[in-house]
Structure 1
Amino acid sequence: MKLLAYLLINVEAGKALTVLTEMNKLKEIEHAHVVTGLHDVIALVHAESTKNLADEIVNKIQKINGIQRTVTCIVVNGD
């Protein structure tokens, strides 16, 4: 079963579009958007397990230049 999670991402000033471009290169990212509000980028990520999700976040996403902070919201109910 595929695990889905939304990532709420804060980036350095002026880096949102650069971060978005890099995130869209990752196969695990289903959608990513620059947004207004408390966070700068929101992404929908898929993974095979919570361990796989953690590995993707720590080893791929958080290493993207410009990302300062991520908040992970795992989907528990939905299509």
Structure 2
Amino acid sequence: MGAYILITTDMGKVMDVLAAIKAIEGVKSAHATIEPYDIIAFIEFTDPEAMKSLLIDKIHKVPGISRTLTCLAA
């Protein structure tokens, strides 16, 4: 299973957040983008509980993230 995570960062924090996101196990790719989001990342997980853990325990704890939007991939 997979999902795209659209990330908005605090002003001036894109590259710091991008580096931190890329270092998280389960993140398969991450790229800086231009508006309306700052970063798009693709994550892989085995079940919904693993996705929740990856998002809440790892991604949402990265300093500089102000908002995320998760889009499940079919």
Q: Same fold (TM over 0.5)?
A: yes
Pick aligned residue for 2:58 from 44, 55, 60: 60
Structure 1 residue 28, shift from structure 2 partner: 0.6
Asked if residue 49 in structure 1 is aligned to residue 52 in structure 2, the reply is no
The structure 1 segments of at least 4 consecutive aligned residues displaced by more than 6 Å after TM superposition are: none
The alignment's TM-score, normalised by the length of structure 1, stands at 0.91
Larger helix share, 1 or 2: 2
For residues 9 and 47 of structure 2, what CA distance do their matches in structure 1 show?
A: 26
Q: How many Å apart are 1:37 and its aligned residue? A: 1.3
Q: Could you report, residue by residue, the CA deviation over 1:17-60 in whole angstroms, capped at 9, with x for unpaired residues?
A: 00000011112110000000110000000011111101100110
RMSD of Structure 2 on Structure 1 (CA): 0.6
Structure 2 residue aligned with 1:4: 2
Report the Cα distance in structure 2 between the residues aligned to 1:54 and 1:9, rounded to whole angstroms. 16
Larger radius of gyration: 1
Q: 2:70 maps to what in 1?
A: 72
**Gaps spanning 5+ residues in structure 2: where?**
none
Taking structure 2 as the reference length, the TM-score comes to 0.97
